[in-house]
Amino acid sequence: MSDRVLRDLNPKILILTLAHGAAHRRAAEAIEKALTRLDPSLIVRVADALAHCAAWFRAYYNSYEIPLRYCPELWRWIEAAQHRSRSTGPAWLYRQGAKPLFRFIESFDPGTVVVTEVGLCELVSLYKRERPAAFRLVAVELMDFYPAWVQAEVDLYLTSHPDLSAELAAAGASPEKIVCSGQPIDPVFLSLPTREEARARLGVAAEVPLLLVLFGGGGYGNPLRLVPQLQRISLPLQTVLIAGKNRRLEDQLRQLCHGLARSQVFGWVANLHEWMTAADLVLSKPGGNTLAETFACGVPMLAFDPLPGNEERTCRWIENWQAGLWIRQAEGLVPTIEALLANPDALVSLRRRAQALARPCAAYGAAAAINKLALTPRSNLS
């Protein structure tokens, strides 16, 4: 390799993510682990992008939580507008609010920047376009397609499924830049225990079906709609409910589940992969990361109570892929769960479809594609 090419390469990789929600951060951390194991010479840093933005811009960026919690129909309208637009926000606002982030990127001087959220893709593309900056830009789509992902400054798109790759290409992304690596998940999903080992380790009954109920890392959901329905299930069932980091939700679930036989309630758990492996069914809001993890564990998802917008679109993917079911109304919980418990063949069919979609090596696939790009001289990039 010539001296010119060696000077052109930069082993520093900056992964920009968000703190809100768990999917962006967990994907970023999975890629970081895979990159450092794949090539220890790389200098990899994961950073919360908003922590390096102006305080007023952080408030603006996180303001989606207000309509999401208190006026979901308003958020559905806002999100639908973003899904039709080439931008999720005004460029002048992004330019002003992200000035500290741009200085942070400049001081770190990365050879490659990886982004795990569409707004961050816009911010970094804006920086790269107006400076201009020399780093490569990698956009990691986490089952959350928006036209705003398509930016001329992006050198590589990593997608979670071929259907999402097709959406990106249809929106104008160059097919040569798209690699379907799968949704990056923690490498721990590469070495799962058997179902029997997981159940023994967790202390749950080996012979009774297990329903795992998840509320996402942030603990979104309405247990008042959910738990009374679960109490109506007449077939033998053990239920584990995981509230994430929402202590208020955890306390509420503990109170509501006093009358739910064979139930356990937890907050945040570090061994979610074991619970998923032990489960017969996962009932959850359909976050893309959770969905990819259930596939890796070969357990079908019952999607329930999705957040307006992208999670509702994910529910349609689940149905198209036949790897789970979308339960649209709380009243559908009992008949759906009881029908599956009473029909082992239907449950096995869903499990096989989930296993067929499993990509436990996705983080390493993403890391390999990023590393290949990082080792490509800029003169060879289109």
Amino acid 8: pLDDT? 55
Tokens linked to 36: 């450092």
Do both 326 and 302 map to the same domain?
A: yes
Do both 349 and 334 map to the same domain?
A: yes
Annotate 326-346 with b (16+ C-beta within 10 A) or e (fewer): bbeeeeebbebbeebbeeeee
Q: What is the CATH number of the domain that holds 374?
A: 3.40.50.2300
pLDDT band at residue 377, thresholds of 50, 70 and 90? Answer: low
Average pLDDT, the chain: 90
User: Of residues 85 and 348, which shows the higher confidence score?
Assistant: 348
Instruction: With H, G, I as helix, E, B as strand and everything else as coil, classify residue 309.
Output: coil
Domain span at residue 370 reads 3-185+361-380
CA-to-CA distance for 247 and 260, rounded, in angstroms? 20
List the one residue out of 295, 276, 215 whose CA is nearest residue 247: 215
pLDDT digit string, tens, across residues 15-71: 999 987 678 898 999 999 999 999 999 999 999 999 999 999 999 988 887 777 778
Check if the beta carbon of residue 215 is closer than 8 Å to that of residue 246: yes
Do both 175 and 30 map to the same domain?
A: yes
Do both 119 and 178 map to the same domain?
A: yes
Tokens linked to 238: 């053990």
CA-to-CA distance for 127 and 319, rounded, in angstroms? 39
List the one residue out of 217, 216, 213 whose CA is nearest residue 227: 213
Q: Is 41 exposed, middle or buried (0-12, 13-18, 19+ CB in 10 A)?
A: exposed
Do both 181 and 193 map to the same domain?
A: no
pLDDT band at residue 310, thresholds of 50, 70 and 90? Answer: confident
Do both 61 and 174 map to the same domain?
A: yes
pLDDT band at residue 2, thresholds of 50, 70 and 90? Answer: very low
Give backbone dihedrals phi and psi of 315, rounded to 5 degrees, phi first.
-60, -40
pTM: 0.89
**pLDDT tops 60 at residue 119:** yes
Considering only 164-178, 208-222, 317-331, 334-348, which range has the smallest mean pLDDT? 208-222
Amino acid 69: pLDDT? 75
What residue type is 289 in one-letter code?
N
Q: Measured between alpha carbons, how far apart are the two ends of the chain, in Å?
A: 20
CA-to-CA distance for 72 and 56, rounded, in angstroms? 23
Q: What is the CATH number of the domain that holds 285?
A: 3.40.50.2000
Do both 208 and 316 map to the same domain?
A: yes
CA-to-CA distance for 375 and 9, rounded, in angstroms? 6
Do both 167 and 271 map to the same domain?
A: no
Domains in the chain, number: 2
Do both 93 and 15 map to the same domain?
A: yes
Q: What is the 3-state secondary structure (H, E, C) of 111-169?
A: CEEEECCHHHHHHHHHHHHHCCCCCEEEEECCCCCCHHHCCCCCCEEEECCHHHHHHHH
CA-to-CA distance for 371 and 333, rounded, in angstroms? 45
Residues present in the chain in total: 382
Amino acid 173: pLDDT? 96
Amino acid 81: pLDDT? 81
Do both 34 and 177 map to the same domain?
A: yes
Check if the beta carbon of residue 243 is closer than 8 Å to that of residue 220: no
Check if the beta carbon of residue 293 is closer than 8 Å to that of residue 272: yes
Do both 202 and 178 map to the same domain?
A: no
**pLDDT tops 70 at residue 7:** no
Do both 161 and 287 map to the same domain?
A: no
Please compute the mean of the pLDDT values over residues 135-143 and round it to a whole number.
Answer: 93
